[in-house]
Structure 1
């Protein structure tokens, strides 16, 4: 059955072209009502939206085939990330496509405020010639405070610096060194409010940024400050903004986004204020930006549906980092170790520890923990488990997780070990990579051996004495089972050994029972690695 993607907002035609070229059916649902979407969304594996569609629990409950949501743009506050993550639905965005357009629109708003272009144009259209009323100010020498210095914030900063402005900024993540490289003076919010002639916000809308600029914080700003929001509606409290404009404390405000869109009638006084400059959420509405975001999000959705690495995942860091070439071989390794551990550990697991030995595994320890967890749970849980919801599923199961790092102590420079603990027993399995296609298990529960983690493996413990391998080999030969390769491991000669035999096909329960009844053989099991 062909994969299919639903598009419920207006999107550049490049999205439809790319999907069709990839053999993916695309359906335009941009004119569908809420009820139509609910009735018809169950069969789609992908869903691409802009800001007009909000995907929450109601839609996600009906979209039972959904694997990936693509947001053509940056902000994803119109997607219930928690609900999507719990269901194992990947959420992607297109963070770079509209950067230039949004930054340029911010600069247009900044210039519009400084030179009072909006009211001057309106006055001229009404037949008046009132030059003295619209005396503005230069940007040169002024200070702009930028709140949120991500891609768009940085791009705005670069353009403001080119105008000869001083740029002060606040960002909870950006380091002082990185800010200095851009030319931004990093400061706290209180200082930013005190110094800035203009304040421009470029943050996502999250609980910490909702109403960030309110009556209290706006009162801390310079008298006559210009305020700009081309990010997300709700970061600036619109009621407080109107009060500031009417009192004269705020010299001007420019907004492209609003708490509700289209704006409600309650905003009529703000929109009509002569020192307010507004546009209808068009910061990213350029031909170039629309094509860029549509192309970027569609390409990522296609990659996700093909189970290929993606770079713009929003609801899981593991997916983004797992796409890095350096770690990809160890992603394969950690996944196979998790899969093997679940099959080889018979009891209930209470604690799972990923131990990373060597530079590369240690660098990506948190990613490898999620990968191993996904491999472990995917063969034992009653619901689909992937990199997105693995930690949620583990939390619900009460599974304690940990990650430890070590310097390499064996002949292998980079190793990943998965250690499981139950109520009264424990188990560990260790592996390394020779290449992305060559995963090697190097130790099983303390037995050192080297075997490829692929195909069908018969594992058993046996007394370490002559003739044991011959007896098992004969039992398999009697059943027409061909042996591909084998590996042996033992701790102390003459006690107990662990044997792993690669066979060409899965073994039936009857054959496993036959092997287990050979004198000196115990703990017989099959280890299956899916291709």
Structure 2
């Protein structure tokens, strides 16, 4: 059953004057919600109100401070959407019991929450299926040169159709054909990476997963082979499903990837994109990607229009279902905490994912709209 909805205007009237009056949940967004998560607001609001919670939704400017909101100290649950609080903001929330959002938080905030025993709920599980299915779509499109054939049909019409004598139409210079029988290495053992691994296995591929932050027991429980990040070079297909400062295919590993192999990228933090781009431009690797070094990609960028590259513009997690599912993950976990329980363990964020001090290498995902938030 769909969760009930409450429109913005009526909810604003309920909390006229911008004082909190002790609502259960404060939801804060950065003003870009309708562009980035257009179906999330009503679903999240309806899910929380449907469970009997009171809430206030605020938009905070880039230079705004959560701690300046009157009455914030009484709020037990905080939801952050595109907003990064300061430690002083968290300190001002004296009754805080749970923080939720989409993606991780700054290491200082993660530490402040951990020191107080406050769980952080990550709604990213909600769009993991959407992102994983995009990875499969990119793999198949890269293996069969589907965008090139589509473009040829649009531009050439009947001339694009293979002649009766054609028995082979895939690109011979790169890994091609069926996913079955291919060797696939997935970077990341999180929700997206595991779903990609499951789907590739169902297609008949031989799959291994690399994630230095995951415990050995996680690989055993999920029945997947573990491989070191430095040893991804022997795969037919490398899928960068997730990334962090430690979970990153370095330039040295990119340079050793087998000529002709296919790299699929959903998270720009998970691989040295500059090194990958250089090999793609030299025609050594095929690339199917939803993320880039700069967003948007300039029309004159030489990476565009190549027959060894498949592009999508950062849309891996941008489905209506993904919006709904993210909202449901947030609402369900907040309800669990406010009712005296704990969030689901798989919706927590491992500290290693947020500890930027482990590797000084910068993440190219700082721009809004990159794969980090999709």
Query: So what's the TM-score if we normalise by structure 2?
Result: 0.68
Q: Residue in 2 aligned with 1:208? A: 246
Match of 1:70 among 88, 100, 122: 100
Which has the higher Rg, Structure 1 or Structure 2? 1
Query: What SS does structure 2 have at the residue aligned with 1:54?
Result: coil
Greater fraction helix: 2
Distance (Å, rounded) in 1 between the aligned partners of 2:350 and 2:284: 43
Greater fraction strand: 1
Distance (Å, rounded) in 2 between the aligned partners of 1:298 and 1:276: 39
Cα RMSD (Å): 3.6
Query: What SS does structure 1 have at the residue aligned with 2:270?
Result: coil
Distance (Å, rounded) in 2 between the aligned partners of 1:58 and 1:234: 28
Q: Residue in 2 aligned with 1:242? A: 277
Alignment coverage as a number of residue pairs: 305
Q: Residue in 2 aligned with 1:110? A: 139
CA shift in 2, pair 1:311/1:88, >3 Å: same
Query: So what's the TM-score if we normalise by structure 1?
Result: 0.50
Contact preservation (8 Å) 2:23, 2:55: no
CA shift in 2, pair 1:98/1:239, >3 Å: same
1:276: how far off? Answer: 2.7
Match of 1:255 among 245, 266, 289: 289
Q: Residue in 2 aligned with 1:226? A: 262
CA shift in 2, pair 1:122/1:316, >3 Å: closer
Contact preservation (8 Å) 1:7, 1:26: no
1:298-337 deviation line (CA, Å, top 9, x unaligned): 12112323433222463689xxxxxxxxxxxxxxxxxxxx
Q: Residue in 2 aligned with 1:375? A: none
Q: What are the within-5 Å matches in structure 2 for residues 48-197 of structure 1?
A: 48-50=79-81, 52-57=82-87, 59-60=89-90, 66-72=96-102, 75-77=103-105, 80-86=109-115, 89-94=118-123, 96-127=125-156, 129-130=159-160, 135-136=170-171, 137-138=176-177, 139-172=179-212, 173=214, 175=216, 182=223, 184-194=224-234, 196-197=235-236
Contact preservation (8 Å) 1:190, 1:220: no
Query: What SS does structure 1 have at the residue aligned with 2:337?
Result: helix
Q: Residue in 2 aligned with 1:279? A: 312
Larger relative contact order (CA 8 Å, sep ≥ 6): 2
Contact preservation (8 Å) 1:97, 1:292: yes
Q: Which runs of 5+ in 2 are unaligned?
A: 1-21, 163-167, 352-374
CA shift in 2, pair 1:143/1:275, >3 Å: same
Q: Residue in 2 aligned with 1:310? A: 343
Q: Which runs of 5+ in 1 are unaligned?
A: 318-531
Q: What are the within-5 Å matches in structure 2 for residues 386-405 of structure 1?
A: none
Distance (Å, rounded) in 1 between the aligned partners of 2:96 and 2:300: 38
